[in-house]
Structure 1
Amino acid sequence: MAPSTTHITVSGLRFAWPDGTSVFDGLDLAVGPGRTGLIGLNGTGKSTLLRLIAGELRPGAGAVRVAGELGYLPQNLTLDTTRRVDEVLGIARTRAALHAIEAGDVAEEHFAEVGDDWDIEERTRATLDQLGLTHVGLDRTVGQVSGGETVLLRLAALLLRRPEVLLLDEPTNNLDLDARRRLYAAVDAWSGVLVVVSHDRQLLERVDQVADLREGGVRWFGGPLSAYEEALAVEQEAAERVVRSAEADVRRQKRDLIEAHDKLATRARQGRKAFETKREPKIVMGNRKRAAQESAGKHRLMHEERLAEARQRLEKAEEAVRDDDEIRVDLPHTAVPPRRRVLSLREVRLRYGGTADLEVVGPERIALLGRNGAGKTTLLTTVAGRLAAEAGEVSAHVPMRYLPQRLDVLDPARSIADNVRALAPSANPQHVRAQLARFLFRKERPDQLVGTLSGGERFRASLAALMLAEPAPQLLMLDEPTNSLDLASVRQLTSALESYRGALLVASHDLPFLHGIGITRWLRLDGELTETEPPPA
């Protein structure tokens, strides 16, 4: 990429957390105009890299340079609920000065504050309209808007500043379907430098290039996510062919070495027999024995070297094949017969509004849709017994488990293994540790405190606790399960849920994920719970 067009330059970047854990050790990166999707496994440092570029973290060594004004939308956005919308948008002082001038106050400081922004309110309303926030008044407080609307408000504030460089970290995590479409449109219209960290396939189909952050370095792929996956599949197929060839060579060299040993053993037996029968003079036989031993040693050494070289080639070939750490889950056999009653909701009135009547029979796979604030999480927590309904009856007819969006099913002060044993008290401790290895908690990792885990690790630990619980769930309820997962883990979770034979009730805005797990029934909560047509993936 030519330096004249580079807007973000990272050179020799080193960064480690206070406990000494290294994240980057000499990272080089250059990003120019266009939309870049930054992807990678959980824990590779995607969010950390954005924070370093944004200046929220300081590198231990190296340099980060950004040409132009930068805007940054973090993954975990917390805003003071008492602040007014115009304050969040960064226009409160300009707006107050405009109103003062309109009221006849011609003080010089008002004109200085306004500058060239005489149309600030019109531009603001247009930006809010673009993001579907037409109904949000500038004098309202943050506490009066939903979590998804808060994310869009922060994005609106960035767009109003017109930065040349925009960093977005998992921007669709808390957005409903309509809000996601608004954000997609804003990304489509972006003409500057955009770097987005996301697992949202629909969002990543809108980027111009993909940067794959892996093992402390970045590989670039032209085109959107689908082009990246196609290129990677071709590359991995070729790498696997090389591995198979190298494995065959190792087997061949092992056979040759065994045959060489057999031949040498035969010669040694023949030599001993000749010596015992004394067919030739002793000195001649001694010389012949030494020559045979030297020849045998060279022969054996040659085959051993060939085997070592073959093993080295195999090791190098295996390094080119990706063995991404993904969630490997063999879900328990929790089959529900087709006509078995699973869940009944009769005239249920939810605590924060909304009504629901529902009968779940057999291993149905139900998607729960609805805008932010419609009550999807309230419905799931009510079914799970965490929240009482204001009226009506909730009856679960099978064992069930609920994985909430906030992943608060585990005690942060206890280890992963102890949390699992708390839900499966009769399980053998060694069996628990063996099962946790399927969730990538190997060796000493099950002894790690839950409070020290990353978002993706906490998800894996929570899912493990639910799946290994006694009794195993025949109804599994998930609230936005893909929010904390990388693309590889989303694929593995999708595959795992495909093999699950119980009933599923999933609240999610991730349409590709929902279609991938074979949803059989689509429900929408909007005042009341109703059946709806499946939206396009």
Structure 2
Amino acid sequence: MSFLSFSHLTFQWPDGAPVLAGASGSVSSGLTAIVGANGSGKSTLLRLLAGELSPGSGVVSISGTRAYVPQDVALEADARADAVMGLTSVRAALRSIEHGSTDPVHYDTVGDHWDVEESAAATLAVLGLPADTLDRTVGELSGGEVTLLALASAVHSRPDVLVLDEPTNNLDAEATERVIDALASRRGATLIVSHDRALLARVDAIGELRRGSLRWFGGNVDAYEAALEAERFGAEADLRSARAQMARQHRELRTQVEGAGRRQREGARKAKQAGLPAIVAGAQKRSSQESQARATKVHEERLGAARTRLDKAADAAAQDKEIRVELAETDVPARRDVARFDSCVLPTGTRVDASVQGPERIVLAGRNGSGKTTLLRTLLGEVAPSAGTASALVPVGYLPQRLDVLDPQASVVDNVRTRARGATPHEVREALARFLFRGAAGDAVADTLSGGERLRAVLACTLLARPAPQLLLLDEPTNNLDFASRRHLLEALGDFRGALIIVSHDAQFVQALDPTREWRLEDDFLDTPL
């Protein structure tokens, strides 16, 4: 049976920042997920399990082979897809044999893999990629297609253990469904990190990574959230009880101390009235003080125990920190032109004639590879149209799908300051605190950020820019966002008074934004009021 187990894993970065503090778990055949807040260490844990990092302590055990696909797939643009899947030499040998070669080297290269092209084509088809993908380069593929290619490469190798970090990022609904079906039907052990509820609905167990350790829950995301709600209800009840106990112990200690003072004064008065010798009165006083000290100590111990219980109850009831996104109130009049496409022909061949006016909310839809990201980059002027024009008429904020807009060697603070010209360092740090970059966290170099931290940094750069954007172009904005941060982003976008053009395969997120129009890129450009 395929399995992956790990016990008491610890890990910290070279600067001493702790990540894991004794994480343990075991994954056998089936689909298992790890969830947690952004920055909790999920991607780091997967890299440890994949062998890319070494733990400070603890053990990782694995049966058979393993394959790993990271969160941000980085493939060379000029690399061919067959090279990514490790098929270059076998395909070349097959071509040579087909042309009459009898060289033993070619036959040794092929080995038992005579059907490798048919097998690879079948794997690609399962994930929704055409067979001719093998002959294309990575640069010719969309972000979603690159993700699918990386997944196809991992699945095609038939590993005993498959480790995937956010495998449905950048995928359209159809591709997401295909990937989920493929992962759920795998025979081996599959461990994923994901915030995709459709994928989490199909898992057999969930591990929650929090404060460096893992807690495991049986069942899918609904069972997990039900368990959390029950825990939260119990923790809040314990917190109320602990607070009441703390207050009661405070009162009892105060009553004891005040009562002891009164009794001591009354004893001294009676001793004086009775004319007791000083040595006798002193002995009575010492005895009374010792008795009162013992009683006070008992109450202080009870107060200490109540304080400890209160601290534990408060810790159990505490919620993970959440980002607070506050967008500038950029009011765009309803009839003002914000952006225009005039007889614009995208490099993909699609002709676009459309305009954006006022605070419209437009969802940009289409299958992977249809040109959604290309349309956004054409509007930004990063890609030249084949014909016609595309122009943005107001300040634009852009959240790219691949999050490649940060200066990797600059700090988070410096990356934001280059976009928020005129803002003081204090203003920048105050704003970054709402994105959970507080204090020294704002000085972190961009190249060292986790996937979730990188997304928060790019969000901060986009939304804190000056002049404030009146048109937001958001390409898969919920990728890598935990559930709480996703909710806060929705709330912030709900208050935004400018225009939005959003690419998202998160159906619930799109529905919650209440879009006014849908632009669909298929063979033709379709503009549909909603």
* TM-score, normalised relative to structure 2: 0.86
Alpha carbons 1:365, 1:521 under 8 Å: kept: yes
Query: Could you say which residue in structure 2 is the equivalent of 1:307?
Result: 303
- Which of 174, 194, 197 aligns to 1:198? It is 194
**Following TM superposition, by how much is the alpha carbon of 1:310 offset from its aligned partner in structure 2, in angstroms?**
0.9
Query: Could you say which residue in structure 2 is the equivalent of 1:52?
Result: 48
SS in 2 for 1:320: helix
5 Å-filtered alignment, 1:180-329, equals 180-267=176-263, 278-281=272-275, 283=277, 286=282, 289-329=285-325
- Which of 63, 69, 73 aligns to 1:67? It is 63
| Separation in structure 1 between the aligned mates of residue 447 and residue 494 of structure 2, nearest angstrom | 30
| Separation in structure 2 between the aligned mates of residue 68 and residue 143 of structure 1, nearest angstrom | 33
Alpha carbons 1:201, 1:512 under 8 Å: kept: no
**Following TM superposition, by how much is the alpha carbon of 1:442 offset from its aligned partner in structure 2, in angstroms?**
1.9
| Separation in structure 1 between the aligned mates of residue 114 and residue 98 of structure 2, nearest angstrom | 11
Query: Could you say which residue in structure 2 is the equivalent of 1:392?
Result: 389
1:10 pairs with 2:6: yes
**Following TM superposition, by how much is the alpha carbon of 1:10 offset from its aligned partner in structure 2, in angstroms?**
2.0
Alpha carbons 2:2, 2:189 under 8 Å: kept: no
Alpha carbons 1:342, 1:503 under 8 Å: kept: no
Change (3 A) 1:533 1:259: farther
SS in 1 for 2:132: coil
Deviation per residue, 1:340-392 (Å, 9 max, x gap): 53624141526635443444445433222223343333333444465666533
Deviation per residue, 1:87-110 (Å, 9 max, x gap): 333334444444444545455555
Alpha carbons 2:351, 2:525 under 8 Å: kept: yes
Alpha carbons 2:2, 2:64 under 8 Å: kept: no
SS in 2 for 1:306: helix
**Following TM superposition, by how much is the alpha carbon of 1:226 offset from its aligned partner in structure 2, in angstroms?**
2.2
| Separation in structure 2 between the aligned mates of residue 293 and residue 96 of structure 1, nearest angstrom | 96
**Following TM superposition, by how much is the alpha carbon of 1:313 offset from its aligned partner in structure 2, in angstroms?**
0.2
- Which of 338, 343, 346 aligns to 1:343? It is 338
Query: Could you say which residue in structure 2 is the equivalent of 1:477?
Result: 473
Change (3 A) 1:463 1:150: closer
SS in 2 for 1:168: strand
Larger mean CA deviation between 321-330 and 11-20 belongs to: 11-20
* Structure 2 residue ranges without an equivalent (≥5): none
5 Å-filtered alignment, 1:387-536, equals 391-392=388-389, 394-396=391-393, 400-408=396-404, 410-427=406-423, 429-526=425-522, 529-532=525-528
Alpha carbons 2:35, 2:209 under 8 Å: kept: yes
1:123 pairs with 2:139: no
| Separation in structure 1 between the aligned mates of residue 141 and residue 446 of structure 2, nearest angstrom | 32
**Following TM superposition, by how much is the alpha carbon of 1:111 offset from its aligned partner in structure 2, in angstroms?**
4.4
**Following TM superposition, by how much is the alpha carbon of 1:261 offset from its aligned partner in structure 2, in angstroms?**
4.0
Change (3 A) 1:81 1:462: closer
SS in 2 for 1:44: coil
**Following TM superposition, by how much is the alpha carbon of 1:315 offset from its aligned partner in structure 2, in angstroms?**
1.0
Alpha carbons 1:350, 1:382 under 8 Å: kept: no
Change (3 A) 1:451 1:68: closer
Alpha carbons 1:170, 1:197 under 8 Å: kept: yes
SS in 2 for 1:207: coil
Alpha carbons 2:327, 2:492 under 8 Å: kept: yes
Larger mean CA deviation between 307-316 and 279-288 belongs to: 279-288
**Following TM superposition, by how much is the alpha carbon of 1:191 offset from its aligned partner in structure 2, in angstroms?**
2.2
1:352 pairs with 2:347: yes
| Separation in structure 2 between the aligned mates of residue 170 and residue 207 of structure 1, nearest angstrom | 14
Larger mean CA deviation between 253-262 and 31-40 belongs to: 253-262
**Following TM superposition, by how much is the alpha carbon of 1:82 offset from its aligned partner in structure 2, in angstroms?**
4.2
Change (3 A) 1:206 1:99: same
Alpha carbons 1:350, 1:378 under 8 Å: kept: no
Larger mean CA deviation between 167-176 and 114-123 belongs to: 114-123
Alpha carbons 1:350, 1:379 under 8 Å: kept: no
| Separation in structure 2 between the aligned mates of residue 100 and residue 410 of structure 1, nearest angstrom | 46
Alpha carbons 2:379, 2:390 under 8 Å: kept: no
**Following TM superposition, by how much is the alpha carbon of 1:34 offset from its aligned partner in structure 2, in angstroms?**
0.6
Change (3 A) 1:409 1:115: closer
Larger mean CA deviation between 179-188 and 466-475 belongs to: 466-475
| Separation in structure 2 between the aligned mates of residue 484 and residue 250 of structure 1, nearest angstrom | 41
Query: Could you say which residue in structure 2 is the equivalent of 1:374?
Result: 370
Query: Could you say which residue in structure 2 is the equivalent of 1:148?
Result: 144
Alpha carbons 2:3, 2:189 under 8 Å: kept: yes
SS in 1 for 2:60: strand
SS in 2 for 1:367: strand
| Separation in structure 2 between the aligned mates of residue 126 and residue 512 of structure 1, nearest angstrom | 31
| Separation in structure 2 between the aligned mates of residue 482 and residue 226 of structure 1, nearest angstrom | 20
Query: Could you say which residue in structure 1 is the equivalent of 2:33?
Result: 37
| Separation in structure 2 between the aligned mates of residue 233 and residue 404 of structure 1, nearest angstrom | 35
Larger mean CA deviation between 525-534 and 452-461 belongs to: 525-534
Alpha carbons 2:338, 2:499 under 8 Å: kept: no
Deviation per residue, 1:152-191 (Å, 9 max, x gap): 2333333333222222222222333333232223123222
Alpha carbons 2:194, 2:480 under 8 Å: kept: no
Change (3 A) 1:224 1:516: farther
Change (3 A) 1:458 1:105: closer
Q: CA RMSD in A?
A: 3.4
Query: Could you say which residue in structure 2 is the equivalent of 1:77?
Result: 73
SS in 2 for 1:132: coil
Alpha carbons 2:516, 2:529 under 8 Å: kept: no
**Following TM superposition, by how much is the alpha carbon of 1:450 offset from its aligned partner in structure 2, in angstroms?**
3.6
**Following TM superposition, by how much is the alpha carbon of 1:242 offset from its aligned partner in structure 2, in angstroms?**
0.9
**Following TM superposition, by how much is the alpha carbon of 1:72 offset from its aligned partner in structure 2, in angstroms?**
2.3
Change (3 A) 1:268 1:465: farther
Larger mean CA deviation between 423-432 and 213-222 belongs to: 423-432
* Structure 1 residue ranges without an equivalent (≥5): none
